[in-house]
Amino acid sequence: MNKTIDVARYEYLHHVANKRFWLSLIGVPLGFILIFVASMVLSFLSFDTRPVGIVDNANLIQIEPDNTQKSTIFDTQIHLYVYPDESAARAAASADEIQGFAVIPEDYASRFELTYWTNKQPGNDVQSAIANFISRNLMVAENIDSAVLKRVNEGSAVSLQSLDGSQTSDGTGWHRIIVPVVIGMLNFIVVMSSGGYLLKALVEEKENRTIEIMLTSVPSREIMAGKIVGNLGVGLTQIAAWIILLGIAGFLFRDRLGFLADINLSGSYLAISVALMILSFLFTAALMATIGAAMTSTEESQGIIGLMVLPMMFPFYFFTVFLNSPNGILARVLSFIPLSAPLALSLRMAFSSVSPLEIAGVFVVIISFSLLMFWLAGVVFKRGMLQYSKRLSLKEIFSKETRNA
């Protein structure tokens, strides 16, 4: 047991002290931030935030447009200018002072149709700015109370509840998607980075022949356990560092992130997600150890990692299937496959109600697969790690000699 700790400590410190770890620790969130900022800036720049003109031929306008709020990168505001007639609005449009103008016809009250003059397709923000402005004026004309007016503009809050009462959601939807996606991405990063470190460490020890000295100092199961614990620690350190960074960012930008308060994560949801993530890592670690012991070089093993990414990403590929049919056959099957289970079950639990019995079944299946993979890793490890120049074939892996090695 002591040597397991020694191996784990070495693996952990070896990777954490490495420049690659810090580059990845800083580079991944920085990359996400850069992509996010770039997409926000591009999106902001692509929006036409110039004002829009209104020509009221129906004498509908009772209140002036509210042009006090300014556009930001997070929230575009389209200001509305009221013009006395169509020719004035057209002149302003020609002078590029406005991007277009809406003409409210005299018979608007009976037909509810208007014409928008422009040389380019207006965005949704333009259409909703005009529609909201007209609605407010129509309601003022009917003497509707301003509080009611505000409620109508805000719309209704829909709350969703599963039939058995186990799942609730406020129905606004966006965080129902974002939370499992974030959990899936974190799981993917932890499993792939930690598993990748583990695979690299094993293949390198085989390439540089240190494994033979290791095996005459530490029993193979303690080597394996130490490497898994050490590399899982590396992955969890990454996640912890990112969570701390997110926390700092959240604190610094707390005024702009009020919408995060909508996220209401249950303790059981988080516990199940984290437990699945760790189980998935253990399975992947054993799988990587098996591959590492059977392969002869780092390059060879990299190709196999590429193949492992596919099943992990299946729930992302079939995202709409999960959204529309979270308890369908495909979603259920992917919940029972160790590599795809963390994301699949996380998505299903977010979009629907998954019975405790089924969740327990997923755990039983993944634990069984993990134990099987650990057994296989153990037998392949002893035989394959000392076969330096030749890849262990599938036939050799399952041979009697390998089991007895």
> Which residues lie near other proteins (CB under 8 A)?
3, 6-7, 10, 14, 204-205, 208-219, 382, 386, 388, 396, 399, 401, 404-405
Toward other proteins, which CB reaches closer, 120 or 390? 390
Toward other proteins, which CB reaches closer, 196 or 315? 196
β-strands 52-56, 80-83 pairing:
parallel
Cβ of residue 25: shortest distance to other proteins, in angstroms? Answer: 19
CA distance 4 to 233: 13
Cβ of residue 3: shortest distance to other proteins, in angstroms? Answer: 6
Phi-psi region of 393 (alpha: psi -120 to 50; beta: other; left: phi over 0): beta
Toward other proteins, which CB reaches closer, 7 or 373? 7
Rounded to 5, what percent of the chain is helix, strand, coil? 70, 5, 25
Count the Cβ atoms, other than its own, within 10 Å of residue 374: 21
Question: What tokens appear for 194 in the block?
Answer: 């930690």
Cβ of residue 230: shortest distance to other proteins, in angstroms? Answer: 12
Q: Collect all residues with Cβ–Cβ distance below 8 Å to 303 and sequence separation of at least 6.
A: none
Cβ of residue 287: shortest distance to other proteins, in angstroms? Answer: 23
Cβ of residue 404: shortest distance to other proteins, in angstroms? Answer: 6
Toward other proteins, which CB reaches closer, 175 or 200? 200
Toward other proteins, which CB reaches closer, 6 or 170? 6
Cβ of residue 401: shortest distance to other proteins, in angstroms? Answer: 5
Toward other proteins, which CB reaches closer, 327 or 399? 399
* SS3 label, residue 118: strand
Cβ of residue 391: shortest distance to other proteins, in angstroms? Answer: 15
Q: Which amino acid is at 323?
A: L
Residue 391 gets which letter from DSSP? P
Toward other proteins, which CB reaches closer, 111 or 400? 400
Neighbouring C-alpha atoms within 13 Å toward the C-beta of 26: 6
3-state SS of 245-304 is HHHHHHHHCHHHCHHHHHCCCCHHHHHHHHHHHHHHHHHHHHHHHHHHHHCCCHHHHHHH
CA distance 290 to 287: 5
Toward other proteins, which CB reaches closer, 305 or 405? 405
Toward other proteins, which CB reaches closer, 88 or 214? 214
Cβ of residue 216: shortest distance to other proteins, in angstroms? Answer: 4
Q: DSSP readout, 15-61?
A: HHTSHHHHHHHHHHHHHHHHHHHHHHHHHHHHS----EEEEESS---
CA dihedral of residues 27, 29, 31, 37 (deg, nearest 10): -150
Cβ of residue 357: shortest distance to other proteins, in angstroms? Answer: 42
CA 258-264-270 angle, to 5 degrees, is 125
- Does residue 289 contact residue 377 with C-beta atoms inside 8 Å? yes
Cβ of residue 386: shortest distance to other proteins, in angstroms? Answer: 7
Question: What tokens appear for 44 in the block?
Answer: 């902001």
Beta bridge mates, 53: 81, 101
Toward other proteins, which CB reaches closer, 48 or 207? 207
Toward other proteins, which CB reaches closer, 201 or 291? 201
Cβ of residue 217: shortest distance to other proteins, in angstroms? Answer: 4
